[in-house]
Amino acid sequence: MKPFAFLIAAVIGCGASRDPGRGVDGNGSDVTSGGGGQAGCGGLVSCYSVYAHSDHVLYVVALQAKTLDRIGPFNAPTINGSEDVITDLAVAPDNTIYVTSETALYTASAIDGHVTRVGSLSACGTRAVALTTTSDGRLWTGDFKGSVCEIDISVMPPQVKPAITLTNGMALSGDLVAIDDGTVFGTVYKLSDVANAGTQKNNVLAKITLATGAVTQIGPTGFPKLFGTSFAMGDVVGFTHDGTGHVVMIDPSTGVGSVFATFTDPQTNTPISFAGAGVNSLVGVIL
C-alpha cells in the first residue's frame, strides 16, 4: 500500500458474530467466514483471516501463534517492463480480496495469491496508498496527500468517485480499516510535518468519516510508517514499513501502540517492510 513497499501477511480478526457468507481458507478449503475455519484462526469462533503484503507476495499470519505463512506471489501483469506493484489490500464482506496498484484494481486468490485484473483506476488525489471495504460492501481508497475516494465496483471498469479531502490538515500515513459497526480507523499524519519528524515519525490513530472526510484523532501510536492496518482481538493492528518487521497492537481508545511481534520473510529471513493489510469488514469488537 505504499510506494516501494513489501507485500506480506495476514492476521486474524475476532469479533461479533455475523454470517457474511462462505469463502476459502488459506488451504483452499470451503469455510464459513463467520466461524473458525479460516486460515490463522485455529479454534477461534467469529474469526476472520487478515491479510497484509509486500509488493509482490501474499502471506497469512496467525496472531495467537505469532506465525507467518506464505500464500504466494501476486504474479501481477507487467507494466512498463516490470511487474505491477500492489500498494494495498481490502477484504469484502463476502471474503473477496481486493488489491490495488497505482493504476489498476485486482482481486487476489486466498489459495495461491495470484491476482486477476478487475479494471483500470483513475487516481484518487495522487497515488493510492490505502484500501478498505465497509460492512455494506463499498470499496474505498486513499492517497498520501489527504484524499479519500469511493471506488464504484458496480460498473466496469470500476470508477473512482470525486475525492473527499480529510479535515484538520491530516493525511493517511498508510491505511484504513473498517469494522462491523461502521467505524473506520486510519493511521494519519499532519501534512505540515516533514518526513521523519512530528506525526510522520509518530503516526496518529484516528477515526475517519469517509462520507465527509472528518478526522477525529485518537492519539499518537509511538510508531512511524504504519502502512498497513487491520483489526483483531479488539485492537487495531499496525504493520510497519520502517524495515523492522514490527507488527503493532494499537489500543483503539487511546492510540497507544506496542510491539506484538516481529516477522521476517520466510524466503530471505530479513525483516519485512509491510506495504498494507486488511481484514473482512464484518470484523467486530469483542463482546
Which position has the higher pLDDT, 63 or 178? 178
Q: Is 70 exceeded by the pLDDT of residue 246?
A: yes
Instruction: Over range 259-287, report the average pLDDT.
Output: 88
d(CA 189, CA 145) in angstroms, rounded, equals: 10
* Residue 56 vs residues 53, 93, 164, 190: alpha-carbon distances, Å: 8, 24, 29, 29
Least reliable range by pLDDT among 96-105, 112-121, 278-287: 278-287
CB distance 53 to 59 below 8 Å: yes
Q: DSSP state, 267? A: T
Confidence class of residue 43 from pLDDT cuts 50, 70 and 90? low
Instruction: Over range 206-212, report the average pLDDT.
Output: 98
Q: Is 90 exceeded by the pLDDT of residue 25?
A: no
Instruction: Over range 74-93, report the average pLDDT.
Output: 94
* CATH placement of domain 12-279: 2.120.10
d(CA 247, CA 239) in angstroms, rounded, equals: 5
Instruction: Over range 263-268, report the average pLDDT.
Output: 88
Q: Please, which residues have CB within 8 angstroms of residue 197's CB and are 6 or more apart in sequence?
A: none
pLDDT 10s digits, 58-80:
988 887 788 888 898 999 999 88
d(CA 73, CA 267) in angstroms, rounded, equals: 12
- 157 upstream amide cis, omega within 30 of 0: yes
Confidence class of residue 48 from pLDDT cuts 50, 70 and 90? confident
| Highest-confidence segment of 8-12, 20-24, 206-210 | 206-210
Which position has the higher pLDDT, 11 or 59? 59
Locate 41 and state its grid cell: 484462526
Locate 238 and state its grid cell: 499496525
Q: Please, which residues have CB within 8 angstroms of residue 82's CB and are 6 or more apart in sequence?
A: none
Residue 243 CB neighbour total at 10 angstroms? 12
Q: Is 80 exceeded by the pLDDT of residue 10?
A: no
Spans of all domains in the chain: 12-279
* Burial class, 127, CB count within 10 angstroms (exposed 0-12 / middle 13-18 / buried 19+): middle
* pLDDT at position 115: 97
Buried b (16+ CB within 10 A) or exposed e, 135-160: beebbbbbbbbbbbbbbebeeeebeb
Helix (H, G, I), strand (E, B) or coil at 102: coil
Which position has the higher pLDDT, 195 or 27? 195
* Burial class, 30, CB count within 10 angstroms (exposed 0-12 / middle 13-18 / buried 19+): exposed
d(CA 73, CA 111) in angstroms, rounded, equals: 11
